Amino acid sequence: MDQPHLSRTAYDRLEVELAHRSGPHRREISEKIERARELGDLSENADYDAAKNEQGLNEARVRQLEAILKHAVVVESPTADHVGPGTIVEIVIEGDDEPTEYLIGSIEERHDTHDVLSTSSPLGQALMGKKVGETASYETPRKQALTVEIVDIRPVE
Protein backbone atom coordinates (compact mmCIF):
# COMPACT_ATOMS: atom_id res chain seq x y z
CA MET A 1 0.00 0.00 0.00
CA ASP A 2 1.22 3.49 -0.86
CA GLN A 3 1.79 5.72 2.10
CA PRO A 4 -1.13 8.15 2.11
CA HIS A 5 -0.11 11.70 2.97
CA LEU A 6 -2.68 13.25 5.30
CA SER A 7 -3.02 16.54 7.08
CA ARG A 8 -3.36 16.32 10.85
CA THR A 9 -7.03 17.31 10.46
CA ALA A 10 -7.72 14.47 7.99
CA TYR A 11 -5.83 11.94 10.12
CA ASP A 12 -7.80 12.92 13.24
CA ARG A 13 -11.09 12.82 11.29
CA LEU A 14 -10.32 9.28 10.07
CA GLU A 15 -9.47 8.15 13.61
CA VAL A 16 -12.86 9.45 14.80
CA GLU A 17 -14.61 7.71 11.90
CA LEU A 18 -12.82 4.43 12.70
CA ALA A 19 -13.79 4.64 16.37
CA HIS A 20 -17.43 5.26 15.41
CA ARG A 21 -17.58 2.50 12.77
CA SER A 22 -15.86 -0.10 14.94
CA GLY A 23 -17.83 0.81 18.06
CA PRO A 24 -21.32 2.34 18.17
CA HIS A 25 -22.11 1.92 14.46
CA ARG A 26 -21.10 -1.76 14.50
CA ARG A 27 -23.43 -2.33 17.48
CA GLU A 28 -26.31 -0.49 15.74
CA ILE A 29 -25.94 -2.73 12.70
CA SER A 30 -25.87 -5.87 14.87
CA GLU A 31 -29.09 -4.72 16.53
CA LYS A 32 -30.71 -4.19 13.11
CA ILE A 33 -29.72 -7.73 12.11
CA GLU A 34 -31.19 -9.15 15.33
CA ARG A 35 -34.46 -7.25 14.87
CA ALA A 36 -34.68 -8.46 11.27
CA ARG A 37 -34.06 -12.08 12.35
CA GLU A 38 -36.99 -11.82 14.74
CA LEU A 39 -39.28 -11.13 11.76
CA GLY A 40 -38.95 -14.74 10.65
CA ASP A 41 -38.04 -16.25 7.28
CA LEU A 42 -34.63 -14.86 6.30
CA SER A 43 -34.88 -15.95 2.66
CA GLU A 44 -37.38 -13.19 1.85
CA ASN A 45 -36.47 -10.70 4.54
CA ALA A 46 -35.47 -7.39 2.93
CA ASP A 47 -34.64 -5.82 6.31
CA TYR A 48 -32.20 -8.64 7.05
CA ASP A 49 -30.59 -8.40 3.61
CA ALA A 50 -30.22 -4.62 3.95
CA ALA A 51 -28.69 -4.89 7.41
CA LYS A 52 -26.24 -7.61 6.31
CA ASN A 53 -25.25 -5.47 3.31
CA GLU A 54 -24.72 -2.47 5.57
CA GLN A 55 -22.62 -4.65 7.86
CA GLY A 56 -20.42 -5.76 4.97
CA LEU A 57 -19.90 -2.19 3.77
CA ASN A 58 -19.10 -1.00 7.28
CA GLU A 59 -16.57 -3.78 7.87
CA ALA A 60 -14.88 -3.04 4.53
CA ARG A 61 -14.57 0.64 5.48
CA VAL A 62 -13.18 -0.32 8.92
CA ARG A 63 -10.47 -2.42 7.25
CA GLN A 64 -9.73 0.41 4.80
CA LEU A 65 -9.46 2.98 7.60
CA GLU A 66 -7.18 0.71 9.64
CA ALA A 67 -4.85 0.27 6.66
CA ILE A 68 -4.82 4.00 5.86
CA LEU A 69 -4.07 5.01 9.43
CA LYS A 70 -1.40 2.31 9.82
CA HIS A 71 0.53 3.54 6.78
CA ALA A 72 -0.29 7.26 6.84
CA VAL A 73 2.31 9.98 6.82
CA VAL A 74 1.06 13.09 8.59
CA VAL A 75 2.14 16.20 6.71
CA GLU A 76 2.73 19.20 8.93
CA SER A 77 2.91 22.71 7.45
CA PRO A 78 4.58 22.01 4.12
CA THR A 79 6.78 24.62 2.55
CA ALA A 80 5.38 26.14 -0.59
CA ASP A 81 8.58 26.23 -2.62
CA HIS A 82 7.70 22.98 -4.44
CA VAL A 83 4.64 20.80 -5.08
CA GLY A 84 4.12 18.25 -2.35
CA PRO A 85 1.45 16.77 -0.10
CA GLY A 86 -0.45 19.46 1.75
CA THR A 87 0.12 22.16 -0.84
CA ILE A 88 -2.35 23.85 -3.14
CA VAL A 89 -1.02 24.01 -6.67
CA GLU A 90 -2.36 26.26 -9.39
CA ILE A 91 -1.73 24.91 -12.88
CA VAL A 92 -2.59 25.75 -16.45
CA ILE A 93 -3.26 22.65 -18.52
CA GLU A 94 -2.11 22.73 -22.12
CA GLY A 95 -4.96 24.08 -24.25
CA ASP A 96 -6.76 25.76 -21.32
CA ASP A 97 -6.84 29.51 -20.74
CA GLU A 98 -7.90 29.46 -17.11
CA PRO A 99 -5.78 28.02 -14.28
CA THR A 100 -7.05 25.18 -12.10
CA GLU A 101 -6.23 24.70 -8.40
CA TYR A 102 -5.81 21.36 -6.63
CA LEU A 103 -4.99 20.32 -3.11
CA ILE A 104 -2.23 17.72 -3.32
CA GLY A 105 -2.77 14.81 -0.94
CA SER A 106 -4.66 11.64 -0.22
CA ILE A 107 -8.15 11.09 -1.59
CA GLU A 108 -9.17 10.94 2.07
CA GLU A 109 -8.53 14.68 2.37
CA ARG A 110 -11.69 16.72 2.13
CA HIS A 111 -11.60 20.37 1.31
CA ASP A 112 -14.44 22.85 0.95
CA THR A 113 -13.00 24.84 -1.95
CA HIS A 114 -10.41 22.65 -3.72
CA ASP A 115 -10.55 19.34 -5.52
CA VAL A 116 -8.01 16.87 -4.16
CA LEU A 117 -5.34 15.51 -6.47
CA SER A 118 -3.83 12.26 -5.25
CA THR A 119 -0.06 11.94 -5.15
CA SER A 120 -0.44 8.54 -6.83
CA SER A 121 -2.45 9.84 -9.81
CA PRO A 122 -0.59 10.39 -13.11
CA LEU A 123 -0.91 14.18 -12.83
CA GLY A 124 -0.08 14.14 -9.12
CA GLN A 125 3.08 12.11 -9.76
CA ALA A 126 4.12 14.45 -12.58
CA LEU A 127 3.69 17.53 -10.38
CA MET A 128 5.51 16.26 -7.27
CA GLY A 129 8.66 18.25 -6.55
CA LYS A 130 8.07 20.83 -9.29
CA LYS A 131 8.43 24.57 -8.68
CA VAL A 132 6.57 27.65 -9.91
CA GLY A 133 7.30 28.27 -13.59
CA GLU A 134 8.21 24.65 -14.32
CA THR A 135 6.21 22.36 -16.58
CA ALA A 136 5.23 18.75 -16.11
CA SER A 137 4.00 16.21 -18.63
CA TYR A 138 1.71 13.29 -17.95
CA GLU A 139 -0.42 10.79 -19.80
CA THR A 140 -4.19 10.79 -19.36
CA PRO A 141 -6.12 7.54 -18.94
CA ARG A 142 -6.95 7.82 -22.65
CA LYS A 143 -3.22 7.78 -23.46
CA GLN A 144 -3.16 11.48 -24.39
CA ALA A 145 0.05 13.30 -23.39
CA LEU A 146 -0.59 16.67 -21.74
CA THR A 147 1.72 19.35 -20.40
CA VAL A 148 0.87 21.61 -17.48
CA GLU A 149 2.59 24.72 -16.17
CA ILE A 150 2.84 25.38 -12.45
CA VAL A 151 1.59 28.94 -11.84
CA ASP A 152 1.48 29.06 -8.03
CA ILE A 153 2.09 26.87 -4.99
CA ARG A 154 0.97 27.61 -1.45
CA PRO A 155 0.35 25.70 1.76
CA VAL A 156 -3.18 24.79 2.79
CA GLU A 157 -4.52 27.38 5.19
Cβ(14)–Cβ(65) below 8 Å: yes
The string of DSSP letters for 30-48 reads: HHHHHHHHTTS-GGG-HHH
pTM of the model: 0.70
User: So what's the pLDDT on residue 68?
Assistant: 92
The pLDDT tens digits of the residues spanning 9-63 come to 889 999 999 999 999 999 999 999 999 888 877 777 888 899 999 999 999 999 9
- In the chain, where does DSSP find H-type helix? 8-22, 24-37, 46-71, 122-127
pLDDT at 1 over 60: no
**Where do the domains of the chain lie, and which CATH numbers do they carry?**
5-74 (1.10.287.180), 79-155 (3.10.50.30)
Q: In what order do the strands lie in the sheet with 87-93?
A: 115-118, 100-105, 87-93, 145-155, 135-139
Is residue 110 pLDDT above 80, yes or no? no
Instruction: Residue 123: name the closest of 155, 154, 145, 156 by CA.
Output: 145
Res 119 pLDDT > 60: yes
* Rounded-to-integer distance, Cα 126 and Cα 134, Å: 11
Mean pLDDT of the chain: 88
pLDDT at 99 (0 to 100): 94
